[in-house]
Amino acid sequence: MSLIVAKKIFPYQGNALSVFKAFAHEPHAFLLESSMRHPTLGRYSFIGFDPFRVIRARPGDDLKPLKKAFDRYAVLARECPYPLPGGMVGFLSYDLNMMGPGGKCLDRKFDERIPAFVFGCYDCVIMIDHQLQRLSVLSTGLPQMSSNMRVHRAKARLDRIVNRLNGVRAEANEERIHLPAALPENGSMRLTSNFSKWEYRRAVQRALEYIRRGDIYQVNLSQRFSLTGRDDDPVKIYETLRSVFPSCFSGYFDAGDFQIISSSPERFMRVHNGTVETRPMKGTRPRGRNPAEDRCQQRELLKSVKDQAELLMITDLERNDLGRVCRYGSVRVKEMRTLEQYATVFQTTSTVTGKMERGKDAWDLLAATFPGGSITGCPKIRSMQIIDELEPTPRSVYTGILGYIGFQGNVDFNILIRTFLKYGKEIHFQVGGGIVADSDPEAEYNETLVKARALKECLRLLNSNAVATTA
C-alpha cells in the first residue's frame, strides 16, 4: 500500500493563511509557507494539525528519538511524488547542539523552559501548489499499519478536513503593510534588550580581540529584545509579521506551551530527490526612502569588500559541512552572491548544492551541518563557544531551524531569524550580525537595529491595536 491512502484535490487561488486560520487553534497546528511569492523558492505551502505523536526533547537527548520514530513509517514512502505527503514537522533549538561537528563536546548554556526540539508526526497534510493553483488534502492513515484500519482512519481524517475547508473564504490578495521612513525607538512599548548599547559594543570589541588572536575568523553576535505582559493571539502576530516582512520561508508552529512565529528569509537545508541545497545569507543594508536611495544602498552592499569576504567565508564553511554527507566532487557553489530585496533590508545570499552520499539520510545531514554556519561563525565550534561567553541569554529557538522531514526523505528547514518566540504573556525576538576583523562596533550595533525594524513595527502595530481595543 502506498503512503497516501486518501486524497482530494481542488482548484485554489488564495493564500495559505486563509486556509490555516480554519485550523490554527487545533492542537500543534503548523503552517510552512512562502508569504513572498517566488517561482522557485515559494511554490508550496503546507498546513497540518493534531499529529498522532509529539516528541519533545528531554535533558541529554540527541536526535535518536526522532530518527527511531521516523524509521517506523519511512518504509511506506519509497515512491511518493509530493514534497510533504506526511512526516515530521517541528523545530530544533540552537541550544540542542551539545555535540559539535566531529563529536567534540560543547559546554553550552540553555533555556530550561524551551525543549531542545519538538516534532509532531503528521498523518494528514494540506498542500497548496501556488504554481498550479491547486490545494491537495493528503491523508496517510498513520499510525495504523494494517490496510483496513489505515483506510478507515485516512478517510475519516480527510472528510473532517474537507468539511472544514467548505467554510474557507479564499483571500487571493496579500495585504502588505508599508513601513514609515522612521520608527520611534520603542514608542509606548516596554521593550527591553539583554544588552545596553555600551555592552553590545564591548562584546563586539571582545569578539575582535578573539579574531586578532587567531581563535576565529568570524562570529555572529546577537541581542535579544523582550516584551512582557502581552496576551496577543499568536496567529494575529504571525499575520501581522508576514504583512510587514514577507519572506520565502515563513512559518508558524504551535509547540503547546509556546509558539514559534517566523518570517525567515534564509533557508537552512533542503533535500529533494537526493539533491541538497543550502542558502547562507550574509551582508545587510537598510531599504531607502525612495528608489534612488534603494539603488545607493544596493551599490554600497555589492561593493563592500567586508560583506563579500564574510559571505565567501561562510559559503566555504557550508561547502565543507555538506562534504561530510555528499558524494565526493558533487558539492558546488551554484550562486555565489545574489542580491535579495525585502521590505526593510537588502541582503546577499549564496546557494550551495550537493548530491547525498549513498547510505546517508536526513539525520546524517542534520548532524553534519546544524547549526548553520551563517549564524555561528568560522570555525564553527570555537565561534559557538565565544557566542556562549559573550551573549548573556541562551538563544533558544533563535538561529535554530523550523521545517519538515517527509516520510519519503525530503527535507526543508529555514533558519529561525526574523522570528518571535511567544511564551505565555512574553514575546521575544533576537537579531545579530557577523563580526569580522574590520568590523566597527557602532556599525554592528546599528545593523542589529536595522534587522529589528520589521519586528519592532509588527509589535508596535499590535500594541496600537491593543490600545485602540481597550480605549
- pLDDT band of 152, cuts 50, 70, 90: very high
Q: Alpha-carbon distance 229 to 33, whole Å?
A: 29
DSSP β-ladder status, 6-11 and 275-278? unpaired
pLDDT at 2 over 90: no
Q: For position 35, what pLDDT does the model report?
A: 62
pLDDT at 106 over 80: no
Going by C-alpha positions, the residue among 399, 466, 401 that lies closest to residue 428 is 399
Inter-residue contact 390 to 207 (CB < 8 Å): yes
Cell reading at 82: 509530493
Percent of the chain with pLDDT over 90: 56
**321-355: per-residue pLDDT in tens?**
999 999 999 999 998 888 888 777 888 889 999 99
**204-224: per-residue pLDDT in tens?**
999 999 999 999 999 999 999
Q: Alpha-carbon distance 298 to 285, whole Å?
A: 7
Q: For position 102, what pLDDT does the model report?
A: 43
Going by C-alpha positions, the residue among 48, 66, 49 that lies closest to residue 57 is 66
Q: Alpha-carbon distance 139 to 378, whole Å?
A: 43
Q: What would the mean pLDDT of 14-40 be, rounded to a whole number?
A: 86
pLDDT at 88 over 50: yes
Q: For position 36, what pLDDT does the model report?
A: 58
Q: Name the residue with higher pLDDT: 238 or 244.
A: 238
Catalytic residue positions, numbered: 266, 282
Across the chain, what does the average pLDDT equal? 87
- pLDDT band of 395, cuts 50, 70, 90: very high
Is residue 27 reached through a cis peptide bond, with omega within 30 degrees of 0 on the bond before it? no
Any idea which residue has 538561529 for its cell? 399
Going by C-alpha positions, the residue among 466, 4, 462 that lies closest to residue 235 is 462
Three-class SS state of 106: coil
pLDDT at 101 over 50: no
Q: Name the residue with higher pLDDT: 97 or 322.
A: 322
Going by C-alpha positions, the residue among 412, 387, 382 that lies closest to residue 398 is 387
- pLDDT band of 175, cuts 50, 70, 90: low
Q: What would the mean pLDDT of 384-411 be, rounded to a whole number?
A: 93
CATH number among 3.40.190.10, 3.30.420.40, 2.40.30.10, 3.60.120.10, domain 6-470: 3.60.120.10
Q: For position 61, what pLDDT does the model report?
A: 75
Q: For position 405, what pLDDT does the model report?
A: 95
Q: What would the mean pLDDT of 156-174 be, rounded to a whole number?
A: 81
Using CB atoms within 10 Å of the CB of residue 451, give its burial: 0 to 12 exposed, 13 to 18 middle, 19+ buried: buried
- Domains in the chain: boundaries: 6-470
Q: Alpha-carbon distance 316 to 314, whole Å?
A: 5
Q: For position 469, what pLDDT does the model report?
A: 42
Going by C-alpha positions, the residue among 259, 343, 250, 342 that lies closest to residue 33 is 250
Going by C-alpha positions, the residue among 352, 321, 322 that lies closest to residue 334 is 352
